[in-house]
Amino acid sequence: MLTRSRTLSLTEQLVSHYAGQIRASLLAAGTRLPSVRDCARRHGVSPHTVVAAYDQLLAQGLIEARQKQGFYVRALLPPATALVRHVRDATPPYLDAAALLRGMMQPLGHRPMPGAGVLPADWLRNSFLSSAVRRVVNSPAFEELSLHYGEPMGDPVLREALARRLQDVSIAVQPEQIVTTLGATQGLDLVARTLLRPGDAVLVDEPGWALEFARLAAMGVQVLPVPRGPEGPDLAAMARYCESHQPRFYVCVSVLHNPTGYSLTPAVAHRVLQLAQQHDFYVVEDDTYAHFAPAHATRLTALDGLVRSVYISGFAKQLVPNWRIGYVAAPPALAERLTQTKLLNNLTTPALLERALAVCLEQGQVRRHAERLRVHLEAARSRSAKLARAAGCRFVSEPAGMFGWVDTGVDADVLAQRMLDAGWMLAPGSLFYAQRKPSTYMRINFATTQDAEFWRTYAQHVRALRA
């Protein structure tokens, strides 16, 4: 509700409200604003006030009017020259992804956000990381690590520690096959830049991670969405794509898939590798949530032995998001090509932090920290699932891992906009599809949806939308 003020008229307050959300990218380009009547009801003003506010937003170039459709947020960024073809008036996916990421990095307040992709800071706090940094800084290696770029593939001590760690998940790899990166996100980007050219086709899980769709689209790559089910990708759909498009690789989250929480079964994993062999494409396995999953979970790379597969993981989710340390394990020849791409784009990676992480891995501190997080996450998942069901949500998949994939029963984009007005950032289901389309689904973070106040506000808005 707006308030009457001597300094700002109701129209000016309404303009400021929506302009602030649009400029902060909390309302993504292509988002439909409320109708004039709906907006008037929500903010307790007259339709005339809303019309005047929308006119000012139009004049500022922040929104556009579409005949017989309403008012929509305009793109503040120039569209890429070569994007995947989308339905008419659809939003380029990188703009949707940017809105979600910006909201995660610039939280609305001190309370945790249901749409966030990270764990609460209180869960991540520890003393062993700072101790490891001090140990490296006080060692004879400090000068060498600081005054030189270091090895292009990454710190050798860390790569040896990572090779030993991968044995725990049945992946046999040599340190020379590992390239360190600025997080798993850069690992995926390195693989894409190394293997793809504009116009190439790539298989992706759908629903899937919005950032991956955005990156591929911005590169001018043809995204081939493969429906993801409880056992894995739709093999029939994948086979049809292989016959007609000759994909270069398949990006897959085998374990604790984001956003559904699904994990691959051995039978489906075996068939995926058969298709990769038959149609000559790589399988790129994103194991970002490895620390929250059992070691015996089915991983494509373990079955394939890094012959036609690439393994990517990192430590941002379970340690400190801002250290940005990840890695890629690949066949030897491809590892060398990835190193060349890394050199051209980033020169090197932060050797001091990599060496400190190696110390933590060797002393077992990362493993023990991950065990504590799994205990916290299990308790949070149980509480969050109960609150979600009590608020009327239906889980599309059995709750597992860090995220829940739920059906709200209403247009999740409209719901997300209303919840944003109330100070809660959601991750509506439309963000997780290669081509944005209306959805009743949303992704929740179990660690950040334990607040009963959020679920009360959520239920209130869902009831209003249904009415």
Q: What is the CATH number of the domain that holds 190?
A: 3.40.640.10
pLDDT digit string, tens, across residues 413-453: 899 988 988 888 899 998 899 887 789 999 999 999 999 99
* Angle, CA of 316, 324 and 224, to the nearest 5°: 75
Q: How many residues does the chain have?
A: 467
CA atoms within 13 A of residue 389's CA, in its CB half-sphere: 10
Please indicate, yes or no, whether residues 193 and 337 belong to a single structural domain of this protein. Answer: yes
Query: Is 69 within the bounds of a domain?
Result: yes
Q: Which of 82, 115, 132 is the last residue of a domain?
A: 82
Q: Is residue 32 part of a domain?
A: yes
* Pairing outcome for strands 394-395 and 403-407: antiparallel
- What average pLDDT does the segment 188-207 reach? 95
Contact 415, 465 (CB under 8 A): yes
Same domain, yes or no: 132 and 210: yes
Is the predicted pLDDT of residue 25 greater than 90, yes or no? no
User: What is d(CA 310, CA 249) in angstroms, rounded to the nearest whole number?
Assistant: 10
Nearest to 332 by CA among 151, 190, 175, 154: 175
Same domain, 44 and 171: no
Tokens encoding 323: 């250290």
Q: What is the DSSP letter of 321?
A: G
The rounded percent of the chain whose pLDDT value lies above 90 is 67
Q: Are residues 189 and 317 in the same domain?
A: yes
What pLDDT is stored for residue 438 in this prediction?
83
Domain boundary among 364, 397, 430: 364
Please check whether residues 47 and 132 belong to one and the same domain. Answer: no
In 3D space, the residue among 426, 462, 428, 432 whose CA is nearest the CA of residue 442 turns out to be: 428
pLDDT at 1: 63
Tens of pLDDT, residue by residue over 353-373, are 999 999 999 999 999 999 999
**Domain span at residue 223?**
124-364
Q: Which amino acid is at 432?
A: F
Number of domains in the chain: 2
Do the domain assignments include residue 444?
no
Q: Are residues 203 and 347 in the same domain?
A: yes
- One domain for residues 253 and 177: yes
**pLDDT value, residue 82:** 35
Locate 129 and state its tokens. Answer: 């990381």
Residue 24 has pLDDT above 90, yes or no: no
Q: Is residue 13 in some structural domain?
A: yes
With respect to residue 343, please indicate whether it lies within any of the assigned structural domains: yes
Do 128 and 60 lie in a common domain? no
Whole-Å CA distances, 191 to 3, 188, 364: 52, 5, 30
Distance between CA atoms of 329 and 293, rounded to whole angstroms? Answer: 19
